[in-house]
Amino acid sequence: MVLHNKKLAALCLAVLVLLFALQFVLSSYMILAATRILILAVFAMGYNMLMGYTGLLSLGHAMFFAAGVYASGMVTYYFGVSLPLAFLIGILGAFAASLIIGLLVLRTQTVSFMIVTLMFAQAAYLTTLYFSRYTGGDQGLTLPTSARSFRLFGQILDMTSDLTRYNIAFAVFAVTLIGLYLITQGPIGRLFVAVRENEDRTRMLGFDTYRIKLVAFTVSGTVSGMAGALYGLMFGFVGSSFAAFQTSIEALLYTLIGGPGTLLGPLLGTTVMTMLIDRLSGLTTAYLVVIGVLLIVVTLWFPAGILGTIRNRWLPWLK
């Protein structure tokens, strides 16, 4: 098999080694923060697949994150399904949701696409509230103690241990990074970028662009849902807030800051923004104002994000 973009592959590998080594140096508070960052970065990477590479700006990815959260969390809560199986069910749920919704929303473009994805996501959010008898609504459901650990290959993995959680999050992150590397680099990845750059031309070169967009949408939604399933199971909580509009915006924000259409941008964006919010919220309650100003600055002067700007100026392989 051909390895495309070897420099990027080397960089990804270095990042993975670095992330793995972090657990030996960080404090347990920072380990927890890093765990969250890794999971949210997976969410943003899923989002980036659609927004960054394929050029479709969705405002409704909270619904796929939440699809993963609910599909995995509820089978555990109500049927006592083991965590690994629940995780797979979460991924499957997000896959089904994104495929079906993708078939519908991809009939629209640009602004209508944003509005329709937002509509679907709000409908999903309201649904979780409406059926609060089962979903727990705003209050959410806290997974029982029995669902806080599982046995895998003879090992008991405890979801209340910081290091166990970190390593699981790291493993899922690594698999996602490698998977998205294979999808986005080389001839297949070129088709997603071709749709982003010039859809009409791509159609007139003999490609079914609707199908290309559907693949991107489904991969994007499934990865987002995988992050959701991991988040819910790992922290033992399922709630409507995951399906709220703010969740969609977070994915957009992380991707924009880090660099849309770059493989490592979402990780960087998630790290920067999570740390920033963490520090700022300790200083002032008005931290969202600062975030808002920052977002405006980035959009006006660095629309390609941190890694995107570096790519455009110095490192063309950083994509």
Partner 1 sequence: MAEVKLLRTQGLARHFDGIKAVDGVDFTLHQGEIRAIIGPNGAGKSTFVGLLSGRIKPSAGRVEFAGRDVTGLPAHKRVRMGLAYTFQITNIYKEMTVLENVAIAAQNRLRPNMLRRNPGGEAEIERLASEAARSVGLGEMLGETAGTLAYGHQRLVEVAMGLAQSPRLLILDEPTQGLSDGEIANFNAVVRKVSETATVLLIEHNMDVVMALADRITVLDQGRVLAEGTPAEITASAAVQAAYLGEPA
Per CB under 8 A, residues contacting partner 1 are 2, 186-188, 190-191, 193-194, 197-198, 200-209, 211-212, 215
Our CB check for partner 1 shows the closer of 130 and 317 to be 317
Q: How far apart are CA 74 and CA 68, in angstroms?
A: 10
Are the beta carbons of 54 and 261 closer than 8 angstroms? no
Question: Distance between CA atoms of 122 and 99, rounded to whole angstroms?
Answer: 18
CB atoms within 10 A of CB 245: 14
Which CB atom, from 58 or from 202, has the smaller least distance to partner 1?
A: 202
Contact 247, 296 (CB under 8 A): no
Q: How many residues does the chain have?
A: 319
In the complex, least distance from residue 203 CB atom to partner 1, rounded to whole angstroms: 5
CA distance 156 to 151: 4
Residue 48 or residue 72: which is nearer to partner 1 going by CB?
48
* Residue closer to partner 1 (CB basis): 2 or 111: 2
Least distance CB 212 / partner 1 (angstroms): 6
Gap between the Cα atoms of 312 and 319, Å rounded:
10
Phi/psi of residue 237, nearest 5 degrees = -140, 140
Please state, in angstroms and rounded to a whole number, the distance separating the CA atoms of residues 2 and 67. 35
Distances (CA, A) of 74 to 205, 226, 245, 254, 300: 45, 15, 21, 28, 42
Query: 101 vs 212, which CB is nearer to partner 1?
Result: 212
Output 154 or 316, the one with its CB closest to partner 1.
316
